[in-house]
Amino acid sequence: MRLFRWLSARTIPPRFDLRLCGWDLAGPDHASDEARRSPALARADHLEHESWQEFADWLLQPQRALVLLTGVDDANERTRLLRLGFGDIVDSQVSLREIEARAMRIAAQAKSLPRTRDIGLLRLDLFARDGFVAQRALGLHPREFALIWRLADSPGVVVSKKALVRDVWRLAHVPDTNSLAVHVFRLRAKLALAGHAGLVRTEPSGGYYLNRAEPPAVFAPFMLAESDGQEAKAMALSSEQIIPWEPKS
């Protein structure tokens, strides 16, 4: 079975409807891993502002690499979107057969993407965009997950603040805010609740790294809930309380 997703509330135009080529459209009832890793089609001029904002929040390039944007007639705009990491960009005159060929290429590339990374008892799941210990989710926010996934690229190697801001925030300069420190603080708090308090370390000269030599603590089964009590517990267990705690909005 070949699945694809359509990222618009509008009806799929026939020229982009892969169901005419024997594909199945992944709907709300398709919550499987196969559906999450399937090619996603979107017509650029049918996407609302909120959808483009969602694309902007896809901080990891492998997520955007599953998206085939159609209806982009300007060559410079296609080039810009490709550089942002989208899987493919085509103009409005593309044929359905070409759409299918490009979707098949994206599907083949998706199979080669790393799905998970294991760090001790912690499993990072790229497509769920969360960490799991004993099959319980840590409840990581997108940038918290992006941070630890980036650090997991090279465990034990210090990643500078500039590199993290570039790779996670997509900025060429370090802003005059403590956003990076705040996200590291919250990430450490959630890791501490799951018994991995010493996993993310700070290098004295600046930057952060994953300390894979840190053995996980013995801990009782945990549940991260959206409650003030859990937020307070996360703050208390944080391994570095050097900045004010900010509750989730």
Kindly state whether residue 64 falls inside one of the protein's structural domains: yes
- Pair 106, 75 in one domain: yes
CATH of the domain at 16: 3.40.50.2300
d(C-alpha 189, C-alpha 140), whole Å:
10
Kindly state whether residue 81 falls inside one of the protein's structural domains: yes
Structural domain for 70, as ranges: 3-111
Kindly state whether residue 244 falls inside one of the protein's structural domains: no
pLDDT at res. 240: 37
Considering 50, 76, 111, which residue would you say is the last residue of a domain?
Answer: 111
pLDDT at residue 59 tops 70? no
Kindly state whether residue 242 falls inside one of the protein's structural domains: no
Looking at the structure of the chain, the number of domains it has is 2
Say which range, 72-76, 190-194, 212-216, 219-223, has the weakest mean pLDDT. 219-223
pLDDT 10s digits, 10-38:
888 898 999 999 999 987 555 566 777 78
Q: pTM of the prediction?
A: 0.54
d(C-alpha 23, C-alpha 100), whole Å:
9
pLDDT at res. 215: 57
- Pair 17, 88 in one domain: yes
Q: Which of 27, 32, 84 is nearest to 55 (CA)?
A: 84
Considering 80, 111, 142, which residue would you say is the last residue of a domain?
Answer: 111
pLDDT at residue 161 tops 80? yes
pLDDT at residue 50 tops 80? no
**How many CB atoms sit inside 10 A of residue 142's CB?**
16
- Pair 231, 144 in one domain: yes
pLDDT 10s digits, 90-137:
998 999 999 999 999 998 887 776 778 888 889 998 877 899 998 899
Kindly state whether residue 196 falls inside one of the protein's structural domains: yes
CATH of the domain at 152: 1.10.10.10
